[in-house]
Structure 1
Amino acid sequence: MSGSVSNTASPSRLDALRVYAHPRVFAMLFLGFAAGLPLLLVGGTFTAWLRDLGVELAAIGFLSWVGLAHSIKVLWAPLVDRLTLPVLTPLFGRRRAWILTAQCTVAMGLLGMALADPVEELWLVAFWAVVTAFGSATQDISIDAYRVEAVGRERQGAMAATYVTGYRLAILMAGAGALHIAAVGSWSVAYGVMALLMGVGLVTTLIVREPEVQQVSDDTRRMEQRVVEYLDRTTHQGALRDFVAWFLSAVVCPFADFFKRYGLAAVAVLLFVGTFRISDIVMGVMANPFYLDLGFTKTEIANVAAAFGLGMTLGGAALGGVLVLRFGIARMLIFTAIMAPLTNLTFSWLALIGPELYGLVFAIIADNVTGGMAISVFLAYLASLTNTAYTATQYALFSSLMTLPGQFLGGFTGWLAEQVDWVWFFIIAAGAGLPAIVLGLVLLRVAHPDRMRQPGKDD
């Protein structure tokens, strides 16, 4: 777990801001847009389309399962790490080949949904929705891997910030944008336009360069050599031996590598990854019901919590990218781990003062700016955990773990809100962030984020 600490001085404020002019950092804005666009088109916008056409609620509920592709993407992430695509990989490189394939799959799926009739051919719409969802999840895997490998650790915060900005703008387009298009045209036109907008990502992927990384470090080679030596001692032969070798190298080795690098500290790292965003996720589930219960109008919620809140989140994400470059990942991790739950308490204050617009504005500024910073900082941290030999697999594991505990606990938030008043609900939500603060302080001692060696880039 030893590593070197850079002796270079922290960059000036102007130099820190210039990080966003880096070609790959800027390109991540458009790749983030491509990544975010399909999410609602197989989620909330999709269900709105189906219900608008009179599809039964039971069928809509079953079709919502297509979104599970994003939760199980770690299952095929090893393929993205190790499988060479004919023609495309030699032409574009390992990462860009997979990104292009995934983007074409998403565009094809959206176009298929646009041309099918949910009333007469629901099965066909469901098929194209599944194609879109798996293409989208595969695009997430490959873009995440590209983002980690394309620049050094010091620019990861900025990469995350531009990615989040593009992602959020795409969600706005796939949500409100698609609904407006459907209102003046049709749902088929809306989905056709969304398919065309995937061209933003396709063009960007064709323009950007493949990351220049050492795919396999010396430690990784030695570990995989032990796999070969193990197979030489077994009775496996032919295709079976080849499959076992691939499975051990692509699936087992990524996890073995992570635990080898971090030792017992790996447990603390995984717990920290799983708890960092719990407070925000738990609070977010009940945010809109809280606003309505308090007496805010739908227009006020849309204008302040949604539109203004989006701007605050994007501003916070950009600020987080600059601060990571200037102060490092470790200090910003602790700062955002403390501030994220602390700002949740502004909603307890809002519950006390009632539906005052100034209170809502203050709470949204505090929570969304901090939340945006936390996202940028945390994505930079996740990038620092990966070995570039297994970027896609390891990052898919971390990103799934990042949201899973919060999403699970989020299912109980309605029951909790009914048992206590809103003031105590947000105090409890803030308290859910305490484990992440404690674990963050532990990591400063046992696995300091700014001092850990990053295999493939540091070797």
Structure 2
Amino acid sequence: MAETVSVKKDWWSSITPYLTPRMLIILAMGFASGLPLLLTLSTLSYWLSKIGVDKTTIGLFAAVGTPYTLKFLWSPIMDQVPLPVLTRLLGRRRSWLLVTQLLLAAAIFAMGQVDPRLDPWTTALIAVIVASLSASQDIVIDAYRIEFLPKDEQGHGAAATQIGYRIGLLLAGAGAVGLSDFYPWSVVFGVLAAVMIACAVLTLFVPEPKIAAEPGERDYIQWVKESVIDPFGDFVSRRGWVVILLFVLFYKFGDALGGTMANPFYVEMGYTGLEIASISKVWGIWMTIVGAVLGGIAVARWGVFRALLIGGVLQAVTNFAFAYVAVRGTQYGLCAKEALAADPQALVSTLCAAFPHDLPALAIAITADNVAGGAAGAALVAYLSGLCNVAFTATQYALLTSFMAQGRTWLSAGSGWLADHTDWFTFWSATAFLAIPGLLLLLWIMRLYPSGAVIERGPVSRP
């Protein structure tokens, strides 16, 4: 009996950190981080797919997310350089966050003022600007979370970030797609810009992390050493740093490849905009949130490596569910064609043509995939957070997430070509097998750090 009470208490102690004011702040910042991401990824691909752009071109549009892969280049500036007046009033983290969010709101509004059919290059340029500002916001938010939370709450903080992040994706995904059925895209983007302004207002009221106190005056050479050389030197001095970077790059590569082509896949399978918004966006986001919570609990209970391994295997296996959806969609499509050819007036022909897809199969696939992806994502965020020396938080986390972003930008840019040159069953099966390199690299890292420590380093200090 006493053992049962102890187990329940342990599980309750894993859940209670989610209920603190600190976690609500982290959740809100995760929301601000997730809001602009889909505007240059899923929402943009849906927009292009609906106006008839081919899959290869849609895949290439993933390259507008390149700033996410390069943010480590300017992260030292945001990590170390104060902003005139604002830093003195708000602190280093909040001042950079406020400026970035206000500029991001303006860029999102501008994106709604162009038509990709008439001016694709301007659309791409504004999308790159949105991605650049979004990546900059991520630099500050990631550093804020790592510095704001104690070490034993980083796993829960990673999950809270994922929850808020997914709610932001919900608004930018299902919200944008749903509103676009009733209002022009200019209004849709105007609403999203207004929400980003609200996030900027919230930034004025959250506390500044104590660890991010303004450093004293230093000469330029000393600044370069502390801002650029020391963070990278600290990271590359660690055992297996190349393996760690490769793992970060490939852990979610298969999911990134599939995610780039998800909306074109749904459209080709015959799903309506309402079905895509309700199942893929609304229901899918909540399932990802469930997965993120489970991932945070798994990290707290079993450690980050075991949580990464379980989440990585599950997110690979669940991609086969979409391969099944592809088979069912093909069968329903053939049924519709054959029935209509045999008897265009028959009731069965009408029903078959009206529903040329398997909606329950899609719901099951999205449920399984998003729960697994959310759990794996929370574990990965916790792992990356643990890798960072708090003396160089923003720079090192930006470096790690830049490598991770390569998977959903340049490496996934060829997803459209793969989808154009294979059938959908083969495509989704391939995305599952592409998770294997990341899992093998994880096993390698687990052998490098058998004690279970995320990173082995000496005491942290800032000059």
The interval holding the TM-score normalised by the smaller chain is 0.7 to 0.9
Does the Cα contact within 8 Å between 1:213 and 1:456 map onto a contact in 2?
A: no
Counterpart CA distance in 1 for 2:79 and 2:107 is: 23
Q: Give the Cα separation in 1 of the matches to 2:442 and 2:25.
A: 31
Q: Distance in 1 between matches of 2:41 and 2:413?
A: 18
Q: 2:295 aligns with which of 314, 317, 320?
A: 320
**Distance change >3 Å, CA 122–CA 390, structure 1 → 2:** same
Corresponding residue of 2:320: 345
Residue correspondence of structure 1 range 3-402 to structure 2 within 5 A:
12-40=10-38, 68-110=66-108, 133-178=131-176, 189-213=187-211, 242-260=219-237, 262-263=238-239, 265-294=240-269, 296=271, 298-353=273-328, 354=331, 355-402=357-404
CA distance in 2, matches of 1:208, 1:131: 26
* TM-fit CA distance, 1:285: 2.8
Classify 1:435/1:13 alpha carbon distance in 2 versus 1 (closer, same or farther; 3 Å): same
Q: In 2, distance between residues paired with 1:51 and 1:305?
A: 16
Identity of paired residues, percent? 39
Greater mean alpha carbon deviation, residues 36-45 or residues 311-320: 36-45
Q: State whether residues 308 and 380 of structure 2, in contact with CA within 8 Å, keep that contact through their aligned partners in structure 1.
A: yes
CA distance in 1: counterparts of 2:257 and 2:41, whole angstroms: 20
Counterpart residue type for residue 67 of structure 2? A
Name the SS for the 1:162 alignment partner. Answer: helix
Matched with 1:56 is: none
Cα distance in structure 1, aligned partners of 2:268 and 2:416: 13
The 8 Å contact of residues 157 and 376 in structure 1, kept in 2 or not, is answered as yes
- How many angstroms apart in 2 are the aligned matches of 1:276 and 1:204? 33
Question: What is the letter of the counterpart of residue 251 of structure 1?
Answer: V
2:411 alignment partner, SS class: helix
Residue 341 of structure 1 and its aligned partner are, at CA, apart by 0.9
* Aligned position for 1:452: 455
Please list the CA deviations of residues 176-198 of structure 1 after superposition, one character each: whole Å capped at 9, or x if unmatched.
54566676666555444333322
User: Do the aligned partners of residues 131 and 279 (structure 1) sit closer, same or farther apart at CA in structure 2, a change above 3 Å counting?
Assistant: closer
Structure 1 distance, partners of 2:364, 2:440, is: 28
Report how many residues are paired. 419
Q: Sort the Cα spacing of 1:309 and 1:184 in 2 relative to 1 into closer, same or farther, 3 A.
A: closer
| Residues 173/423 of structure 1: CA separation in 2 closer, same or farther (3 Å cut) | closer
- Judged with a 3 Å threshold, the aligned counterparts in structure 2 of structure 1 residues 42 and 344 are, in CA distance, closer, same or farther, namely closer
- Shift in Å at residue 271 of structure 1? 1.2
Moved more, 320-329 or 181-190: 181-190
Q: How big is each residue's C-alpha offset from its partner over 1:207-263, in whole Å with a ceiling of 9 and x where there is no partner? A: 3222233889xxxxxxxxxxxxxxxxxxxxxxxx94443323212221110011x13
Q: 1:429 to 1:122 in 2, by over 3 A?
A: closer
Partner-residue secondary structure (3-state), 1:85: coil
Q: Which stretches in structure 2 are left out of the alignment for 5+ residues? A: 1-6, 51-57, 332-356
The alignment's TM-score, normalised by the length of structure 1, stands at 0.77
Secondary structure of 2:409's counterpart equals helix
Letter in 2 for 1:390: F
Letter in 1 for 2:243: A
TM-aligned CA distance change 1:258 to 1:423, over 3 Å: same
Does the CA-based 8 Å contact 1:384-1:454 persist in structure 2? Answer: no
Contact 1:214/1:456 (<8 A) preserved: no
CA contact (8 A) 1:304 1:364 kept: yes
CA contact (8 A) 1:102 1:138 kept: yes
Give 3-state SS (helix, strand or coil) of 2:284's partner: helix
The offset of 1:369, in angstroms, is 0.5
Amino acid at match of 2:376: A
Q: Any idea what SS the aligned residue of 2:209 has?
A: coil
Q: What is the SS of the residue equivalent to 2:296?
A: helix
Query: Contact (CA 8 Å) 1:345, 1:426: kept in 2 or not?
Result: yes
Q: Which amino acid aligns with 2:314?
A: M
Q: Secondary structure at the match of 1:198?
A: helix
Deviation at 1:402, TM superposition (A): 0.8
Amino acid at match of 2:234: D
* Alpha-carbon displacement from aligned partner over 1:114-133 (angstroms, at most 9, x marks no partner): 8x7889x9999999877655
Amino acid of the structure 1 residue aligned with 2:375: M
Rounded to whole Å, the distance in 1 between the matches of 2:63 and 2:436 is 33
2:321 touches 2:365 (CA, 8 Å); kept in 1?
yes
For the 8 Å contact 1:31–1:163, the answer to whether it is kept is yes
